[in-house]
Amino acid sequence: MVVGTVLVTGGTGYIGSFTSLTLLENDYQVVIVDNLYNSSEVALDRIELICGKRPIFHKVDITDEAALDKVFEAHPEIDSAVGESGEIPLEYYRVNVGGSISLLRSMERHNVTNVVFSSSATVYGDATRYPNMIPIPEHCPIGPTNTYGRTKSMIETVITDHVNAQRNNLQKAGKAFEQWNGALLRYFNPCGAHPSGLMGEDPQGVPYNLLPLLGRVATGDRPKLLVFGDDYPSRDGTAIRDYIHVVDLAKGHLSALKYLREKKPGLLACNLGSGRGSTVFEMIKAFSKVVGRDLPYDVVPRRQGDVLDLTANPSMANELLHWKTELAMEDACADLWKWVSNNPKGYRQDPPAELLEALKKSKA
Ligand SMILES: NC(=O)c1ccc[n+]([C@@H]2O[C@H](COP(=O)([O-])OP(=O)(O)OC[C@H]3O[C@@H](n4cnc5c(N)ncnc54)[C@H](O)[C@@H]3O)[C@@H](O)[C@H]2O)c1
């Protein structure tokens, strides 16, 4: 039984592929739109390998509204959209903001009224500028400190205005309006890989985030890790982040979608985090433990736009979405290492036979 059809933009990327997998595992049909700028079609094979179902795939750029229209026309059963795409430096505004507007316009034309948006904790900026805002609750004022965060906050505003306008206009006309809903999911630091070792992050260029970089150091692809600043007022001088396992994060999308469909809340801005903050040094230690040796690093000056502490207060997601993290950053470290050590070429190689065998056994 199919419970709904979801368009996942950026669905072959890191978070999008896990979200697609989770949706398929929970009886949704998934239509992926991705231009493969930072991902590979092999992600589709791995999703199918793990859950036995394959997402429908369209190679489309989300800034191409006419192509998006065609996708909605080909799949009139699409009832919601999950937007994951857009991690392109210099093109942030065109792709993130412009692409989201194209998507919303095309959704409106095809009467698709629920949107789940991949926002980020970076919209909060430096939450320590206010007293008592760590862990960060959703009512912490927005104040991004970098371009990426500003595009995310801008899209949150666009979605909020759009959903509110749709609801108000329909209500004024005496029509049903509650079908218009948006979830702004503020991800903390997604990391980890599928516990099977068969799916993980496979960026086309140099990764930007701490754990994938540590993975590259462990495999010898990079000589050492650069730690950006050890002079923060934290317990060991390095910045604090809330690391959330990508499998938990994917389940958060499912819970949010369910909440929109059942409760029809209008807008919901919601943190997806664990509530536990870890420093860079703590992460290096945890990952080194999994790898079985110390990993080399150099401390360099702070990076512009980085903040001291992004740790979530996840109470809203816990209570409203009935979602909480089930895995810890130690699990993410172990799963990431299983992924990178078994697949040094990511999706550009076949999966190792023993992992396939283990998957088969786990399904039997
Ligand atoms: N990974 C993180 O740490 C993190 C944290 C917070 C929020 N996010 C957000 O989550 C989303 C997914 O991030 P990710 O880490 O999975 O990145 P990713 O690069 O792995 O995934 C993005 C996907 O979008 C595709 N894409 C890029 N431009 C596109 C375009 N114009 N048209 C169609 N597809 C396009 C890429 O090919 C890729 O498959 C992004 O919006 C990101 O900003 C990520």
What pLDDT band is residue 85 in, cutting at 50, 70 and 90? low
The distance of Cα 276 from the centroid of its chain, to the nearest Å, equals: 18
Mean pLDDT of the chain: 95
Give me ligand 1 centre to Cα 62, in Å.
Answer: 12
Ligand 1 pocket: which residues have CB below 6 Å? 10, 12-16, 34-39, 61-63, 84-88, 95, 99, 118, 120, 187, 189-190, 209
Percentage of residues in the chain with pLDDT exceeding 90? 90
- What pLDDT, in 10s, does the model give residues 109-141? 999 999 999 999 999 999 999 999 999 999 999
Phi, then psi, of 112 in degrees rounded to 5 = -100, 115
| SS3 state at 173 | coil
Given the CA of residue 202, which atom of ligand 1 is nearest to it?
A: 20
Spell out a b/e string for 251-289, using b for 16 or more CB atoms within 10 Å of the CB, else e.
bbbbbbbbbbeeeeebbbbbbbbbbbbbbbbbbbebbbe
Place of tokens 């086309």: 204
Cα distance between residue 174 and residue 290, in whole Å: 60
Average pLDDT of the segment spanning 215-241: 96
Place of tokens 């819970």: 255
Of 148, 187, 243, 347, the active-site residue reads: 148
pTM, full prediction: 0.96
Percentage of residues in the chain with pLDDT exceeding 70? 98
- What pLDDT, in 10s, does the model give residues 125-182? 999 999 999 999 999 999 998 888 999 999 999 999 999 999 999 999 999 999 999 9
**In the chain, what are the domains?**
5-363 (3.40.50.720)
Place of tokens 């909060």: 124
- What pLDDT, in 10s, does the model give residues 263-281? 999 999 999 999 999 999 9
Cα distance between residue 312 and residue 188, in whole Å: 7
Cα distance between residue 176 and residue 172, in whole Å: 10
Give me ligand 1 centre to Cα 113, in Å.
Answer: 22
Strands 28-34 and 114-120: unpaired
